[in-house]
A and B are shown apart, each in its own frame.
Chain A
Amino acid sequence: MAVQGGYGGLGWLPRFRGLFSALIGVLGLLMVWWLGGMAVASSPNMFAFADFAPAPTFSRLWVMLESGEALAMTGPSLYRVGMGLFAAIIVGVPVGILIGRSPAMREITNIPFQFLRMISPLSWMPIAVMAFATWDGAIIFLIAVAAVWPIMFATAAGLRRIDPSWLKVARDLGARPLHLLWVVILPAISIDILTGVRLALGVAWVILVPAEYLGVTSGLGYAINDARDTLEYDRLAATVVIIGVIGFCLDYLCMAAIQRLNWVREDG
């Protein structure tokens, strides 16, 4: 109790500490942005870019939110990322389980997969454009190619969490192979899969914008390119803010899902 008394009149502080720290961080970022905007505006070479500053950006953002423009540019992007992630999960989870379960598969696939993983997903762009009939298809493919690796490797690593006796007990209780998969293996590694999805989402969101520079006339990447071409720097900066906020929210959702599904007790 004496130790707690050490906080004195600020005893309530620790409870709000997280919130305070977050607030200070955000204010710091805004401050750097604002200072940068001031510097740009006062520089004779760069004053044309003054609309990048926080004030014009947020007023434009407000206009874009009110007119529905923000929503209209976000929808197609979310659809592409969603489809790309979905494809990455459909491929990555089964292959990850296969490599995690079979040492032979792991040895055989190790070099090819590590090789493929290190290729920037965007270098597939020309092939994707030729292989897919639609621009949307090509973009989804690029996102899937980027997102599949974290999901696959996290799934494979998760299989180490499985206690072999869980499988033996299940077999003794009459479990069929599909039971082992759905009742034992997948629940046991669900957190690892979701951790992989969270990493994949980060990569996918990064790949999305350059991928949307391709052909399409919708989405956040297109909006960035379009704003640059029309010299609307406040719109460009507002789009950057939208990209950041949505990326942050998606990551937060993933983290919340991981916390919900986590069955590992820290104190156990």
Chain B
Amino acid sequence: MLVEAVGHTYRRGDGPVLNDVSFQVHPGEVLALIGRSGCGKSTLLHVLAGLARSTNGRVEIDGALVQGPSLRSVMMFQAPSLYPWMTVAQNAALGLRFSRRHAEIAARVPEVLRLVELEAYAGRNVQDLSGGQQQRVALARSLAPKPDLLLLDEPFSALDAFTRRSLQRDVRAIGAELGLTIVLVTHDIAEAVQMADRALFMTAHPGRIAADSEINLGDARDGASPEFRAEVARLNALYAEIAEVEAPSDPIHPIPLATKLKEASS
């Protein structure tokens, strides 16, 4: 995927939300977009998904210009946003149903439910499921149409720490198994280190990319290992450096997690 000079200004905003954002994502890569709230990372993700049109610049997936939502790229949000009057299987089948690929539903839905370990819940109403299970259904729903690109908009931030970690691991593993390209928006550096191959740091006013760093860990990522901790520390330091450049009066601190979580739950 190629993102070239993307800029965006909301009609009623005071200035550009995104300014001249350019980067490239390689097939099969997991890219984390890190930044505090208001830096435009979520807007950028909507532009990548084709859900919002940027004021200028272009986004290409495999050479094809993104002009609207397409099943080549599917987005997952903070809330699972499942349809509560449908079963798990009906929710998972929606992408195929909307694109009139009804014939694939019978084989594909059990397949994706198995991937997210919910095959036993196929006939259950989604309201019977826990928050983590619901987010797994949303993942299955995203995977069912066989997208090449998965866009994750802080999809685990409303979950408890334990559920969050297991989903982070599983999404990375599933992505690797299916050869998916993943773009993950997050405010949590540990999450980026857990899931991504590369991290882009964004700063706000206007939103732009301030740093680009590979995450040098293999596929076995143990949150307790010294290598993992070292990587988190390195990226935290990198972010602190950027944040200082961005706003010299700001004390050096990690991204304010507490405010972000409050925002997520409201």
Binding site for B on A (CB under 8 A): 163, 165-166, 168-176, 179, 183-184, 187-188, 190, 263-265, 268
Contacts and interface: CB of A to CB of B under 8 A. Distances in A.
Contacts of B71: 173-174
A265 B75 CA distance: 27
B79 A172 contact: no
A172 B46 CA distance: 10
A159 to B, nearest CB: 15
A174 B81 contact: no
Contact of A163 (B75, B81, B98, B141): B81
B70 interface: yes
A9 to B, nearest CB: 39
Contacts of A184: 83
Given A172-B51, A173-B145, A174-B95, A263 B85 contact: yes
B49 interface: yes
Nearest 6 pairs of A and B residues by beta carbon: A263-B85, A165-B81, A173-B95, A174-B98, A175-B98, A169-B81
15 contacts: A168-B77, A169-B75, A169-B77, A170-B94, A173-B95, A173-B145, A174-B71, A174-B99, A175-B98, A176-B98, A183-B83, A183-B94, A263-B85, A263-B127, A265-B127
A190 B83 CA distance: 13
A109 to B, nearest CB: 27
Contacts of A174: 69-71, 95, 98-99, 145
A172 B84 contact: no
Contacts of B77: 165, 168-169
Nearest to A173: B95
Contacts of A183: 83, 94, 97-98
A174 B146 CA distance: 13
A187 B95 CA distance: 17
B98 A188 contact: no
B83 A171 contact: no
Contacts of A173: 69, 71, 74, 94-95, 98-99, 141, 145
B83 A166 contact: yes
A169 B49 CA distance: 11
Contacts of A176: 98
B81 A166 contact: yes
B84 A263 contact: yes
Nearest to B71: A174
Contacts of B85: 187-188, 190, 263
Interface in B65-79: 69-71, 74-75, 77, 79
B49 A165 contact: no
Contacts of A264: 84
Contacts of B51: 168, 171-172
A21 B97 CA distance: 49
A80 to B, nearest CB: 33
Given A183-B94, A183-B97, A171 B81 contact: no
Contacts of A263: 84-85, 125, 127
Contacts of A175: 94, 98
Contacts of A171: 51, 69
Nearest to A179: B98
A169 B92 CA distance: 12
B49 A172 contact: yes
A48 B84 CA distance: 61
A170 to B, nearest CB: 7
Interface in B217-249: none
Contacts of B74: 172-173
A157 B75 CA distance: 29
Contacts of B70: 174
Contacts of B97: 183
Nearest to A180: B98
A1 B123 CA distance: 36
A168 B81 contact: yes
Given A166-B83, A184-B83, A265-B127, A172 B94 contact: no
Given A172-B51, A173-B74, 9 more contacts: A165-B77, A166-B81, A168-B77, A169-B77, A169-B81, A176-B98, A187-B86, A263-B85, A263-B127
Contacts of A163: 81
A133 B80 CA distance: 55
Contacts of A188: 83, 85
A168 B97 CA distance: 16
A175 B70 CA distance: 10
B111 to A, nearest CB: 17
A179 B75 CA distance: 18
A244 to B, nearest CB: 34
A162 to B, nearest CB: 11
A140 B145 CA distance: 48
Nearest to A267: B127
Contacts of B83: 166, 183-184, 187-188
